[in-house]
A and B are shown apart, each in its own frame.
Chain A
Amino acid sequence: MDDNPENLDQSLERNHVRRVFNAMLTARVLENKLGSLYKAGKIVGGVYLGKGQEAVSASMAACLEKGRDVYAPLIRDQAGRTAFGEEILDCTRTYLGSVKGPMRGRDGNIHRGRPAEGMLAMISHLGAAIPVVAGMLLAKRIKGELDGVVGATCVGDGCTSTGAFHEGLNTAAVEKLPLILTVANNQYAYSTPNDRQFACQDLVDKAVGYGVRGHSVDGTDMLACIKVMNEAVARAREGDGPQLVVASMLRLTGHGEHDDGSYVDAALKSSGLGRDSIEVGIKQLIEGGFASVEEIEQWQQDAAEQVQQAVAIAQKEDGPDPYKDDWMAYSNPEMQMQR
């Protein structure tokens, strides 16, 4: 393995930084709105937010190219979804149950995607997307279409305890697939803290055991996240095999909007892990000359308008009609038993 390949993008390219931050900001505005809609009783089922994880999520997905790369977002990846190019409407339609959404009312909230466009629709079972992304990459290899392509997915600290994580990462490593696996260690899996989840000193130590490259990053630091993700994705693209990125931060919300997160240790909240990556990002944009205060304010306004519009459209649309749904679980109608 080459430790210093020439074409690694270590620089902080201005437009890329602005794009990452815009996705973070849009996600935050959108998620604040989703939280309000939930509390107003406008959303059936759960609402799961990525507050605190925007920098990690967006900086990974912003390195991907829709139509070529594969992306499997998880529960706290609104920012990544936006950075990858998911329409805000896909989100609002799915949460609000519009039949025009990508899941047509058959699935909801964060369980949405467009697999034909390279973005998987997550199932609730943690780690399950890891081998699926690996399989998509393997198929591209068999078809001779893998050159320069990567697949990326994000999981939480809790997922590292699953068999699926182990089997999936090991398999990707055996096949030397260009997989970026990011672990967003937000300190809690629902209410379970790190010390009841794993016993290793640092999750990135697992990389050695799987024979993959490990990267650590402060997940509250937007520019650090951008640098590390640029490097990890570039290395995967040029054939360095799977990359394990461990980002640390605190989940700045409950597990879902039904959960007040009262079990979160107060000391963690006031520690560096408890920083809000968006606030850090704003400071970094201004200090680094990436954007002015006025621009950021304008972006915030734009995001609010986009979100408002997407909510209004989805709210006006019909929900699914049980008499019109074809109730087909098979693409081959001959296989569908009527009862």
Chain B
Amino acid sequence: MSDVTYIDAIHAALDEAMERDPDVFLYGQDIGKFGGAFKATKGLQEKYPGRVLDAPISEDAMAGVAIGAAIEGARPVLEMQFADFSSVAFNQIINQAATHYYRTGVPVPLTMRLPSGGTPGSGPFHSQSMEAIYAHYPGLVVVTPATVADAHSMLLDSIAMDDPVIYCEHKFLYRWLKSKDLSGDRLPIGQARITRPGKHATVVTYSAMVHEAVRAAEMLYKDGGWEIEVVDLRSVKPLDTDTIIASVARTGRLLALGEAFPWGGVTAEVVSRVCADGFHLLDAPPVRLNSKDTPIPYHPKLWSSHRPTPESIAEELRKLLDY
């Protein structure tokens, strides 16, 4: 059997969800005959007539339409062409979708797919990571799959969930990340995974940075036999604080790693929770590593220094281990 990529996993999950439940439909720009900017919906309009709808360039209305359909009992999967453009739909997502169950008792079973994160040459407006912004709002679930199997099972779980889910899929992983098949441990949303066990320090991260963290961990193992534990959050809301604290209890050292901007965000949340609940477990001050605090640059030379790399992660880990 040929390898399946991360984007194949997304396509397969959409296909399975539509096959399983006639209430599932897809809505987004260029997703019909064209198959979507990243081909996540290729062939689905032909297979499911009337259930894969091309939207006008109206992100705010797209989100509103998906919310209305969800209130009515359908299960819309909304594709934002890029996570960056979901800023236009921000009002509908945070004020309408996020508040609806709390206010009215009627859930909004909506999945919004956000093609997220940086790729070389994409520049400031096709590279953003929006997970922290959405995770801030009560009522939203925010997932950030890092593996092919998670991309598949977590999309199915997101679509089956009655609450609105922001599904952050990393564009850098689309075609680069491959697996033999789609099978995996099928952990539920809300549960983190120990991707690589270790005992000297913990890296808590998510999405594409899981793979960079594993590379850094391998470098340190070769360097001096350091065993670095890598925790993949899988979902940033809810955040699996138990797994994080348990890991820090084993290692005594924490690096919170993310690709998003450094002010606030997921890494700050992780550090704050570990300090509050596990201060006594720490043998060194916790460290955060994020992107630089500038817009995301276009040129590959600038971009690859803007985000954390295996080298910069390994450097932070060495400092942490030396403390």
Contact = CB atoms under 8 A, between A and B. Distances in A.
Interface of A: 102-103, 106-107, 111, 113-116, 120-121, 123-125, 128-140, 142-143, 163-164, 166-168, 170-171, 174-175, 328-332, 334-337
B61 A170 contact: yes
B98 A329 contact: yes
B85 interface: no
A123 B90 CA distance: 14
B190 A334 contact: yes
B188 A334 contact: yes
A138 B64 contact: no
Nearest to A326: B102
Interface in B33-61: 50-51, 53, 55-56, 58-61
Contacts of A133: 68
A134 B69 CA distance: 8
Interface in B68-101: 68-74, 76, 91-92, 95-96, 98-101
Interface in B216-273: 237-239
A164 B60 contact: yes
A128 B69 contact: no
4 nearest A-B residue pairs (beta carbon): A135-B68, A131-B64, A167-B61, A167-B58
A7 B53 CA distance: 32
A116 B67 contact: no
B104 A113 contact: yes
Contacts of B72: 135-136, 139-140
Contacts of B63: 131
Contacts of B99: 123, 329
B163 interface: yes
Given A121-B103, A142-B50, A337-B239, A134 B68 contact: yes
A131 B60 contact: yes
A136 to B, nearest CB: 4
Contacts of A137: 68
A227 to B, nearest CB: 29
A168 B63 CA distance: 10
A307 B76 CA distance: 41
A142 B66 CA distance: 12
Contacts of A134: 61, 64-65, 68
Contacts of B96: 123, 128, 132
Contact of B64 (A143, A164, A331): A164
A73 B54 CA distance: 28
B19 interface: no
B316 interface: no
